[in-house]
Amino acid sequence: MRKSLQRIWSLSIKEFIHLRNDWWLPAFMILGGVLELVAIGWATSRPISNLPLMVLDQDRSPASREVITALENTGTFELDSYVGDMQSIEQALELGQINAAVIIPPDFGGEIASSSGQATLAVILNGAESIPATSALRAIEGVSREMGQEILLERLGSGDDALAEFEPSLRVWFNESLNEALYTTPAEAALMLEFTVLLFAALSFSRERELGTLEQLLVMPFSSLEIIIGKSIPVMVIGFVDFLLMLAMVHFVFDVPIRGSLALLLILAVGYLMVELGKGLVISVISKTQHQAFLVVMVIGMMDFMFTGYAVPVESMPEFMQSVANLIPAHHWLAIVRGIMLKGAGLDALWPHILLLAILGLVIGTFSLRFVRRALD
């Protein structure tokens, strides 16, 4: 037992020396994560505003000017220019100079004034940038609803109070200010844990194979389990430290609250880390070079990323994809991180995710251990 621990320790020390000698790789992982966090955090910490808006006003009436002012007042848009023809709008959209354009037809003011008129206006949005387009749509809908209400009241000849009872009262939970950073930055930290662990685990054996030292390691008196443990300790340490750093940044720099139990979050982080470690080690023994291992990590990482619900909500995926998402450990991990940090959720609310993560971990871990041991024996 003592000798076994000594062997494991000797291997871990060696791995730590490699990490120190190749310091740029861990530094790159940590610095890269921090930079990405800063970029994404800042970019998404404010609501979308000042989207350039182009106007083709064929009416030039007080009513049309009122619409433009109302749109400007939302803060979502900033008037770019008035133009006289459609071509200018098409060109500007193609060149990406504007995100939205409003076309007001010649009889707009007249239709509004007439008691049975049907006023219309056209809005063109750059759907290629879906996030600004969604914000723009939301703002335009708001303006048109308000104007519709005003017209209705005017035509009914009643005062403002008549419809007051129908004023909807909206409240967004967990992220009251709709600050996107609350949503994105914990996800970034969570995903960085996956990438760090996967990458360093994937490099652990592929590196030795590429350099030709694996053979020497295998004739030393290590058991395959000792090799796996000795190689895993540094990967776990670096993955966990990276996650702690990212979490600290998310909390202290981007003011994202940790409403639930920090201890639970950290314990589950270690659990999740072991699951990704299992995947990384399998990648490591099937890859002949570090380069190959790196590419496999990228492919698997990007695939996991799709199913985490970070880019596209899992709920809006086709049913088949939704069931696939349940098989992706990162999906549950992200739900756990958001649940604990933003909703203050505990075991009572998160247990389905924790249970699924545990089952996946057990399956992946067992397979990985057998697979890697067989590859090493």
Residue 205 within binding range of another protein, rule CB under 8 A? no
Q: Which residue has the tokens 């505003």?
A: 49
In whole angstroms, the minimum distance from the beta carbon of 197 to another protein comes to 22
Q: Which stretch binds another protein (CB under 8 A): 77-85, 143-151, 215-223, 317-325?
A: 215-223
Please compute Rg for the chain using Cα positions: 28
Number of Cβ within 10 Å of residue 158's Cβ equals: 11
Q: Which is nearer to another protein, 14 or 251 (CB)?
A: 14
Q: Which of 157, 212, 313, 318 binds another protein (CB under 8 A)?
A: 212
The answer to whether 132 and 48 are in contact (CB under 8 A) is: yes
Complex with another protein: residue 9 or 294, whichever CB lies closer: 9
Q: Is 128 in the site for another protein (CB under 8 A)?
A: no
7 binds another protein (CB under 8 A): yes
Identity of the amino acid at 208: E
Q: Per CB under 8 A, which of residues 235..254 are in contact with another protein?
A: none
Q: How many residues bind another protein (CB under 8 A)?
A: 23
- Reference 136, options 182, 74, 89; nearest CA is 74
Nearer CB in complex with another protein: 168/221: 221
Among 164, 219, 302, 311, binds another protein (CB under 8 A): 219
Check: CB of residue 364 under 8 Å from CB of residue 279.
yes
3-state secondary structure of 60: coil
Q: Is 13 in the site for another protein (CB under 8 A)?
A: yes
Q: Give the binding range for another protein (CB under 8 A) out of 66-74, 82-90, 192-200, 211-219.
A: 211-219
Output the six-digit token pair for 60: 């030039």
For the chain, counts of helices (H) and of strands (E): 14, 4
Segment contacting another protein (CB under 8 A): 7-15, 67-75, 139-147, 169-177? 7-15
Q: How far is the CB of 293 from another protein (least distance, A)?
A: 18
Residue 118 has what DSSP assignment? -
222 part of the interface to another protein, by CB under 8 A: yes
Task: Report the relative pairing of strands 100-104 and 51-57 from DSSP bridges.
Answer: parallel
Q: Which long-range contacts link 347-353 to residues 24+ away (Cβ below 8 Å)?
A: 347/264
Among 157, 221, 313, 318, contact with another protein (rule: CB under 8 A): 221
CB of 242 to another protein, least distance (A): 22
DSSP H or E stretch at residue 331? helix 329-338
Shortest Å, Cβ 224 to another protein: 10
- Beta-carbon contacts of residue 41 (< 8 Å; ≥ 6 apart): 181, 184, 185, 188, 250, 253, 254
Helix (H) or strand (E) holding 122: strand 122-125
Site map (CB under 8 A) of another protein, residues 266-305, x = contact: ----------------------------------------
Interaction of residue 152 with another protein, rule CB under 8 A? no
First to last CA, the chain: 20
Pick one of 1, 21, 95, 118: the residue that binds another protein (CB under 8 A): 21
Q: List residues near another protein by CB under 8 A.
A: 3, 6-7, 9-11, 13-14, 17-18, 21-22, 211-213, 215-216, 218-223
